[in-house]
Amino acid sequence: MKVKLSTAVKAALKKGKPVVALESTIIAHGMPYPQNLEMARKVEQIIMDEGAVPATIAIIDGELRAGLSAQELEGFAKNGPSIMKVSTRDIPYVVARNITGATTVATTMRLADMAGISVFATGGMGGVHRGAERTFDISADLSEFAQSNVAVVTAGAKAILDLALTLEVLETLGVPVVGYGTDEFPAFYSRSSGHKVPMRLDTPKDVAKLMRAKWLLGLKGGVVVANPIPAQAEILAEEIEPVILRALNAAKRTNITGKDTTPYLLKAISDATQGRSLSANIALVENNARLAAAIAIAYSQ
């Protein structure tokens, strides 16, 4: 089965022009309406302004898609809570049942790789959840990094996660974690996490060279491009951490588990910060889109 490409994405890939994949879960489940629609439109426009082609990825009526129409984008934004969140394990079920689904980071990586798209911009990647030694709650995003040949521009892993264990798992899976202009792994809302990155690169051209070297060597899998949130949008770790802990405790009390955890926590944190965390989330997604477009352009050359 192939991924159905929009006219613009198909033409760009055919001509070897830069394309940037985008996920649909961040629209359907990561932000409330109408901010999610405004963000989705803005991010696509940023990528076009930078000289690349955006390819928002989703599954619509069981059809794998890369590149959505304005109407389809609006549908994901408006109907988000009723749309299934699709991880890689869910793809066969969603396709067989002709279901519409929003793709997670893992699923977006898989479909981007199938479509021949090498660069993907997201907000924050998944990882090892806090308390995973008891729950074994580890995002499929990590295992997908060992499978799909896609560079993912991300503001680090989501701050609700165990960042140290996330980095350990990525090392075990042989995934390059590149700090873009930083020696420290960013913590989503915060530029600093206290955890060093194993490698640093400072230009899109250098990231593109690493991508090409990895795949020419036959080393399968993705690359984490850890791009810190802009300084003006940052929420310092010491400020956001108590809010995260309260949200985690609330999720535990109400038995929120599995794929429902992240959307619940993001909403709880946004409510507790009176929308500051949502503004930070939007700022870092836009920042990642600019960098992803620049990397895609360098890689296409």
Q: How far apart are CA 272 and CA 280, in angstroms?
A: 14
Question: Could you tell me whether strands 53-60 and 101-103 are parallel, antiparallel, or unpaired per DSSP bridges?
Answer: antiparallel
CA–CA distances in Å: residue 178 to residues 75, 175, 228, 243:
35, 10, 11, 28
DSSP, res 196: B
Token look-up 């420290």 returns: 184
Exposure string for 135-171, b = 16+ CB within 10 A, e = fewer:
eebbbbbbebbebbbbbbbbbbbbbbbbbebbbebbe
38 included as an active-site residue: no
Q: How far apart are CA 301 and CA 295, in angstroms?
A: 10
Residue in 23, 44, 234, 286 annotated catalytic: 23
Encoded amino acid at 76, one letter: F
DSSP result, 78-134 = HSGGGSEEE-GGGHHHHHHTT--EEE-HHHHHHHHHHHT--EEE-S-B--BBTTHHH
Q: How far apart are CA 18 and CA 9, in angstroms?
A: 9
Token look-up 């009176």 returns: 274
* Structure tokens belonging to residue 12: 């760009």
Q: How far apart are CA 226 and CA 239, in angstroms?
A: 21
Residue in 85, 158, 214, 259 annotated catalytic: 158
44 included as an active-site residue: no
8 A C-beta contact, residue 224 and residue 125: yes
Q: Could you list the active site residues?
A: 23, 158
